[in-house]
Structure 1
Amino acid sequence: MKFELAKASSLPINQISNTSGSHLRVITGKLDLLLSGTAVVSGTRSTSVSDHPQGLLYVLHRVAERLVKQSEEEVGWNHAAVFPIAAVTVELWHRHPALGELLLAHLLSKCPYMGPVFPRPTPGQSQEDAFRILGYRFEDGRVENEDLFLQRMSGMARMYAAIISAPVPPSSGNKSHPHGMSHGWTWLMQVLDMEPMANVTPTVLFSFLEVAGNAMAIEYGDQLWELLDGLRKEYIPRYLSPGGSLVSISPSRSHLYLHVFLALTICFLLFLCCGNRLNHLVK
């Protein structure tokens, strides 16, 4: 039964794409039926979370894990993929609140920076343990390539940004967003109040703002521009100065902080004529 439940929860997620809103509604419907206890066909057999006392919890974990995995492995290199993933996630989160909490747990276990938590190695830790708490993968005793690590972190930062800025699904009635813009604003304020880490801080900050900047500009207006002006005038110079936390950053990524301000300015102009890209996916 475990195999059938795993298959029934994984296949729809693997099929998520930005083909059309109707395509996403079909996928969301399949997962909603599974999580609601309705029997679904997996392969040649019918299966239901009601068939086992722990069936629902298992599938909730499985769906949350797979959604995060999609952002981790696909979104980092295919940025547009984040929008349909977020649309499905928010729709399911509305219908099954426990899924959202588990998804956040899986996200933070792989990308603690969205907590935000910026782990620091402690004295006596092995090199492998020190890298693992930072979110790096190990294979055959070797730490993953820095670019691959940052690509994964970028994908998950984009996932979180797309979730908090996604429009409330029409099917939710009058319910509020399950994890909306205020959470993104709090995250942004906390990140800018913490000492940054070379490479990873500008990566997640830029990735987050590139996706959510449009919606945040609409929601917070002058507050956001004041924050970005402070970022440009104080935050960046302070940490790129001699002795600052980012002096060891690779030259190509040191410009990410400068690009943050530019990206948000562009987003502000684009939303006037384009609007949020998620809107067409939930109609």
Structure 2
Amino acid sequence: MSVDDLVRDHTRLMNVHTVLQHAAVASLACTGPRTIGPDQKQKQVEKSLSPNVVEPVQTTLSQLSITTLNKQTSPVDILPSIGPDVNDINASIVKRELDKECKRSVRYQLNLIKERQQKAINERFATQQKTEQQQLRVSNRAKREESDKLLQQQAEQLAKAELEAQQREQKALIKQNNQKLYLLTIEGVSRCHRRFCSKYELVTKLFLALDKETVQACAAHNAELRELGQLFDQLVEKLKKGSSDPPELSCVFTAEQYCQRLDRLDENLHKQLSEQQQQQLDKAKKLAEEKEKQRLLEVEEQQKQQEQKQQQLEAELKATADAAATAAAAAANVATTAATAQEAPTTEAPVTATVPASISTSYVHPTRLAFYNEINALYQSKVDAVKPLQTDEAWKKYRTNCQRTINLPLNAITATSAQHLKTNFDKLYNFFAGQPVRTTDGSTITINDHPLARDYCILLMAKKFVSQTDTAISSNPQAAFPFASVIVTFWKLLPDFGKIFLAYMYKESPYLVPYVIPQQPDQSPEQYLKTMGYRITENNELEKPDMFLKRQTGIARLYAAVIITPGRQADGPNHCFGLEEAWRWLTHIMLVKPLPDICATMIMEMLQTLGFELWRAYGRNFLKLLLYIQTAYMPQLSAYDEGGPKTRLEMLLSKFLRERQIPQAMGVLPPGFW
């Protein structure tokens, strides 16, 4: 209940009091039924007023009513006494008392109401404050939980980021350590591999120096050597693959074990060799030294013969020059005589130059014929020796794999770079050194798998090199020099290979001997031309002359390139087939029977390829040789040849003699190229 409600109740009570007073005065004159008085129940008053307030009024009214009724006064008498009467005074006193009481009651009620209201307000404020505190606590708790959750998330993210950073650092450190470990492993295995290869090459050369019986007696060591080579190759291939797992240091220990096993193998092999075998080796060395001495003696003898031939050539050139001077003088005399005596014709026959019959009818020089027969004998012995391997069907797959092993690196030989040339040479040489080679079908073969495999492979490789003249060199002259460099290197390491290579060259072109093979009485023209280098097709058709000359040009280029091209620098500067062979060929080609087209073609190709080196080495003597070719040989050639090659040769000689120089051939490998 509010204060406004209490004030309204108090005002209402005051109005009720005034009404009751007026009703009491009016009731004295009222004749009708009374509505108020002591005998009437004051229901409305009792309901509307509180007991404390109504009771005095009722008492006063009752007393007033009873007094008035007892006196039985008339309304007229009563009216004058209402004014300043005791009753009025009492009524006013009552009124004042009633007012005071009402005010006290109102104040009391107001105080109670205020107290209750204040209490309610306090309670409401306390409740609201409690509710707000609870809401604040709940909000703070939620915020705290959210903050804790956020802090936990941040802490987790920070911890995750730190963990990832640590993991990255750890991975980087592991990767760096693995890389260092890999480099250390590679370096260690590389050192062991160099040591292994050096020892392996020594042991292989030792096996190559032994005879077949001794090699068979040392078959167990040979098998162990191949096994060690395969194991080391597998270890190297494993490192080259670069798998995701870093190599272990155990690879270095494994490589070291292989090296130690090879050292023990070498020691055991030397222990196993008997004194007799050692004596045989000594004999072989002595024989090699004797052969070397004999070869040196032959070289000296050939140099002496060459000097004698040079002297003869100089004498012939001098005689030719004298004859030319004599002919010029005779022509001058004839002209003078004709001028002085025009009427009397001369009866003397003209002087004609005569050519010795030995030059026009010879086919080959005896020394060259002997060399040719020696080369052919060695070639034929090798061919006859490998027939069991070549005809055995059980070894057909092995023969095919040998051909592939040789053909693949040989076909890839170019002068692109020194490393490229060395890589392909190493593939060929490692196979001939006995190292295992993995074939295209996944199997592994070595040259020691069959006793005749070495000779068979030498024949294969020599034939393959010669076949390059028909495929690559005839159309690209510069391609001859990288092939020649590999051929010369193999010639140093395998002397038989060089002779077999020459045998194939002479078989394809006997003009390189030079040898004009005479026709036998029972030979047909086709068979004779075949012996002279022509080819017969499957349809029994003879090779066309232009194709024949093109192929012979390629053969001459390779032959000349072999003469002037150095081999691998690591095998020494010695040349097994040097520039003296070019001088020998040029001097001997002048002594054989001239043939149309082919002789001019071969001489021109030789001069273009190695004329620069011949001029630098022989100087004035080579210039005299060129003069002899121009003045003495070309007239002989003109008697048999009037074609384009002869004309081109004449122009080439004139150019060289006019310019007094010959340019170096394109594509010549520099010294120390690889």
Compute the TM-score of the two structures, normalised by the length of structure 2: 0.39
State the alpha-carbon separation in 1 of the partners of residues 470 and 584 from structure 2: 23
Give the one of 441, 449, 453 matched to 1:55: 453
Gaps in structure 2 of 5+ consecutive residues: 1-397
What pairs up with 1:179-190 in 2 under 5 angstroms? 179-190=577-588
Note the C-alpha offset of 1:261: 1.8
- The one of 109, 116, 123 equivalent to 2:521 is 123
Q: Which of 270, 277, 281 lines up with 2:663 in the alignment?
A: 270
Check the 8 A contact 2:601/2:646 in 1, yes or no: no
Q: Which residue of 2 aligns with 1:238?
A: 636
Q: Secondary structure at the match of 2:519?
A: coil
Q: Secondary structure in 1 aligned to 2:517?
A: coil
Question: Match for 1:278: what amino acid?
Answer: L
What letter matches 2:494 in structure 1?
A: H
CA contact (8 A) 2:479 2:667 kept: no
Shift of 1:39: 1.2
- Deviation track 1:117-143 (CA, whole Å, cap 9, x = no partner) reads 112323332122111111111111100
Distance apart, 1:170 and its partner CA: 1.3
After the TM superposition, which of the residue ranges 119-128 and 185-194 deviates more from structure 2?
119-128
Separation in 2, partners of 1:111, 1:17 = 24
Q: CA deviation at 1:239?
A: 2.5
Once the two structures are TM-superposed, the CA of residue 282 in structure 1 deviates from its matched residue by 2.5
- TM-score, normalization: structure 1? 0.90
Retained in 1: the 8 A contact 2:560–2:610?
yes
Correspondence for 1:255:
647
Give the aligned CA root-mean-square deviation in angstroms: 2.1
Matched, 1:28 2:421: no
Matches within 5 A, 1:137-176: 137-139=535-537, 140-173=539-572, 176=574
Structure 1 position 208 matched with structure 2 position 606: yes
Secondary structure, counterpart of 2:520 in structure 1? coil
Distance 1:135 1:269 in 2: 29
Distance 1:131 1:97, change over 3 A: same
Alignment partners' CA distance in 2, 1:106 and 1:202 = 22
Matched, 1:101 2:499: yes
Alpha-carbon separation, structure 2, partners of 1:268 and 1:222: 12
Quick one: distance in 2 between partners of 1:218 and 1:276?
Answer: 18
Residue correspondences, number: 274
Say if 1:39 and 1:47, in contact at 8 Å, map to a contact too.
yes
Aligned to 1:66: 464
Give the direction of change, closer, same or farther, for the CA distance of 1:267–1:60 in structure 2 (3 Å limit).
farther
| Structure-2 residue corresponding to 1:11 | 408
Which structure would you say has the larger RCO, counting Cα contacts within 8 Å and 6 or more residues apart? 1
Residue 575 of structure 2 aligns to a residue whose secondary structure is coil
Conserved 8 A contact 1:165-1:216? no
1:282 correspondence with 2:668: no
Residues 245 and 275 of structure 1: CA distance in aligned 2, closer, same or farther (over 3 Å):
closer
Larger radius of gyration: 2
Secondary structure in structure 1 of the residue aligned to 2:518: coil
Q: 5+ residue gaps in structure 1? A: none
Q: In structure 2, which of residues 588, 591, 606 is the aligned counterpart of residue 193 of structure 1?
A: 591
Q: Distance in 1 between matches of 2:490 and 2:611?
A: 24
Distance 1:6 1:99 in 2: 16
Rounded Cα–Cα distance in structure 2 between residues aligned with 1:5 and 1:24: 20
Tell me whether 1:225 sits opposite 2:623 in the alignment: yes
Cα distance in structure 1, aligned partners of 2:610 and 2:589: 15
Deviation sequence 1:211-242 (CA, Å, 0-9, x none): 111111111111111100111122112321xx
* Percent sequence identity over aligned pairs: 26
CA distance in 2 between counterparts of 1:39 and 1:254 reads 52
